[in-house]
Structure 1
Amino acid sequence: MPVACLVAGAYVARLAVVFTLAWTHSVQKSEWQEDWRATPDGLVLDEVRVEGSGAGMEPPEGAVREGRFYVAHPGLPPQREVLLRRSGATADWRVCTEGGCRPMGALLPSDLPPVDADPVRLTLCD
């Protein structure tokens, strides 16, 4: 069974088969969550949840309001790689699994050179 990995420079952090990427928009302060799944064909985006709209945080097409989130199922083809930018000017990505959520930085070595800390590639592990 494939597993997802975060790749930063030469460092690789194994994630899980199913995980959530979450972040808070720096201006709008709206929460965005994406449920991903590792498959033999690539990374599949199963569901997107957006807390609000505005400042570039528009809910995806076809989203339906469920509680405090707009929920959508994008139907994108499997992705071989997703680039995750880390400017340092905003809160870090959160990576969530059954064990809870952690900042992406907690999964990477603290002495990682800045040039290797951005971007981080989300991909299937070898």
Structure 2
Amino acid sequence: MSLCLLAGALAVPLMADTVTLAWSHSVEHVRWEETWQDAPDGLHLVEARVKGSGAGMDPPPEATFKDGFWRWTPHLGPLGEVILRRSGATDDWRVCRDGECVPVGTLVPADADPVRLSPCD
């Protein structure tokens, strides 16, 4: 199993079954991260992390603070895909694999919107 970024007809294999999506909150400018894993029944949100709180991004009561982030496992069933919207008004999404993060715009056209994280066919 592997994950891909899809932008229109373009499919970019990420060569990983687990990736982290990272971005800065548009109001608070605080880093947010989500780790997604491909499984036979769909994409699973393994962990969510946020560096701070405010503007609708407060961590839930079960979150623990470790390595500078509030961390928790969201209660969300498997999804077929994750849609990444790119307005241009904020920094681009980042895709992290094996500890290295790159802007989505280095993998797909800078103006591609939406971009989808999906299992590769």
Q: Relative to structure 2, which stretch is displaced further, 52-61 or 89-98?
A: 52-61
2:116 partner letter:
R
Work out the CA distance in 1 between the residues paired with 2:97 and 2:67.
22
- Is residue 2:83 matched to residue 1:83? yes
Work out the CA distance in 2 between the residues paired with 1:7 and 1:59.
30
Equivalent residue, structure 2, for 1:101: 101
Equivalent residue, structure 1, for 2:70: 70
Unpaired stretches in structure 2, ≥5 consecutive residues: none
Residue 60 of structure 1 deviates from its aligned partner by 3.7
Write out per-residue CA displacement over residues 78-108 of structure 1, whole angstroms, 9 at most, x where no aligned residue: 1111111000111000000016100001011
Q: CA contact under 8 A between 1:84 and 1:120: conserved in structure 2?
A: yes
- Is residue 2:120 matched to residue 1:125? yes
Q: CA contact under 8 A between 1:46 and 1:75: conserved in structure 2?
A: no
RMSD: 1.5
Unpaired stretches in structure 1, ≥5 consecutive residues: none
Work out the CA distance in 2 between the residues paired with 1:82 and 1:97.
17
1:9 partner letter:
G
Q: CA contact under 8 A between 1:32 and 1:51: conserved in structure 2?
A: yes
Task: Give TM-score, length-normalised by structure 2.
Answer: 0.91
Residue 61 of structure 1 deviates from its aligned partner by 5.0
Work out the CA distance in 1 between the residues paired with 2:4 and 2:108.
11
Q: What percentage of aligned pairs have identical amino acids?
A: 55
Work out the CA distance in 1 between the residues paired with 2:115 and 2:18.
18
Task: Give TM-score, length-normalised by structure 1.
Answer: 0.88
Q: CA contact under 8 A between 1:86 and 1:119: conserved in structure 2?
A: yes
- Is residue 2:22 matched to residue 1:27? no
SS at match of 1:105: helix
Decide whether aligned partners of structure 1 residues 60 and 12 sit closer, same or farther in structure 2, where only a CA change above 3 A counts. farther
